[in-house]
Copies of this chain bind each other. A is one copy, B any other.
Amino acid sequence: MQLSAKKIAALLDGTVEGDPDVKVDRPSKIEEGGEGSISFLGNPKYEEYAYSTTASALLVARDFKPKKPVQATLVRVDNVYGAIAQLLERFGEAYERQPGISGNAAVAKEAQLGEGVTVGAFSSIGAGSTIGAHSIIHDQVYIGRDVTIGAHAILYPGVRILDRCQVGDHCILHSNVVVGSDGFGFTPQEDGSYKKVIHVGNVILEDHVEIGAQSAIDRGTMGSTIIREGVKMDNLIQVGHNVEIGAHTVIAAQTGIAGSTKIGKHCRIGGQVGFVGHLEIADGTQIQAQSGIASDVKEPNQALFGYPAFAYRDFVRSHAVFKRLPELYKKLSALEKAIRPPSKP
């Protein structure tokens, strides 16, 4: 898809400075540029690149005053970051699929597909399942029995939605996500072996949830594992049985949440964080990457860090001393020698 600077300015409510007919077919970073691309100057610390970039067009703020000559055609807008996001959406449209059901898909007669649904090759949709209007089921996706998928959802190749799980409207599940695997529940037997606890619950993803590639969401033992509206999860995340994640919480890659833990709304959780099971985490909690959360967080909007985690600031101060522990040890030994305290104080 090619767009002229003039067309882009019209789209973004901007003004052109330079050749209004120059054409671009992709966005680029200002430090990478490239002919035929449109770049952007958002952060002033990249300003130098504006004078050397090879991009054909450049999005800049309405009030940007160049200190040197700029080769690229300028498109001036009110909000550079908002404009670039809008432009990404426009370029993204070029890659959209035409709806239709592949002749190589296995769709059960008893499944119901809404208007404008896409189903790719080698995908299975089981009996009793429903796919909402305009949802895109890519190739090689598995949708079990009695599953509900909302409208305008996107399931990338290799996604598995097991029996009786529910996926809301506008959800995006990236490749190889598993929704509805059994939780990790076993009863120890007298002979030292373990007996499986049968899992009859399900998983509910509310609307506008996005889940990263290779993540796994276990079903409830009974009842549901629930991911609330607007939650965004990165790749390779583990969510145990009967976990609940509050609305608009974001979680970075490789984090794991053990069974029955409840995480609040609007939390921000770093990568590789671990939560033990049966915790309650207050709304607005912020957790640094790699932290280990082993107890409830009762007060909202705290920042935590460490393994096991405590207050972010306190961890940072303790860690600063940790780095100097060998020095501390020497000082203490020197003091001991100097004083020779009585052995029985």
List residues of chain A with CB under 8 Å of any chain B CB: 26-29, 32, 81, 85, 88-89, 91-92, 95, 102, 104, 106, 120-122, 124, 138-140, 142, 144-145, 156-158, 160, 162-164, 172, 174-176, 178, 181-182, 184, 186-187, 192-200, 208, 210, 212-216, 218, 221-223, 230, 232, 234-236, 238, 240, 242, 248, 250, 252-254, 256, 258, 266, 271-272, 274, 276, 289-290, 292, 294, 307-308, 310, 314, 317-326, 328-329, 331-332, 334-339, 341-342, 345
Which residues from B are CB-within-8-Å of A29? 222-223, 242
A interface SS class:
loop
Which residues from B are CB-within-8-Å of A331? 332, 336
- How far is it, in angstroms, between the C-alpha of A122 and the C-alpha of B318 when the chains are bound? 55
- How far is it, in angstroms, between the C-alpha of A120 and the C-alpha of B125 when the chains are bound? 12
Is A310 a contact partner of B323 (Cβ separation < 8 A)?
yes
CB distance from A112 to the nearest CB of B (A): 19
Closest to A322 in B: B318
Is B289 a contact partner of A276 (Cβ separation < 8 A)?
yes
Is A235 a contact partner of B222 (Cβ separation < 8 A)?
no
Contacts A200-B88, A248-B193 given: A253-B266 contact, CB under 8 Å? no
CB distance from A55 to the nearest CB of B (A): 11
The CB with the most chain B CB atoms within 10 A, among A121, A213, A321, is that of A213
CB distance from A131 to the nearest CB of B (A): 16
- How far is it, in angstroms, between the C-alpha of A310 and the C-alpha of B320 when the chains are bound? 11
Is B307 a contact partner of A290 (Cβ separation < 8 A)?
yes
Is A252 a contact partner of B184 (Cβ separation < 8 A)?
yes
Can you list 25 pairs linking A and B with CB atoms under 8 Å apart? A26-B200, A27-B222, A28-B223, A88-B197, A88-B198, A88-B200, A140-B140, A140-B142, A142-B158, A142-B175, A157-B162, A174-B216, A175-B216, A176-B178, A178-B213, A181-B235, A184-B234, A194-B230, A213-B218, A216-B235, A252-B258, A258-B271, A320-B326, A328-B332, A338-B345
Is B184 a contact partner of A85 (Cβ separation < 8 A)?
no
- How far is it, in angstroms, between the C-alpha of A301 and the C-alpha of B83 when the chains are bound? 42
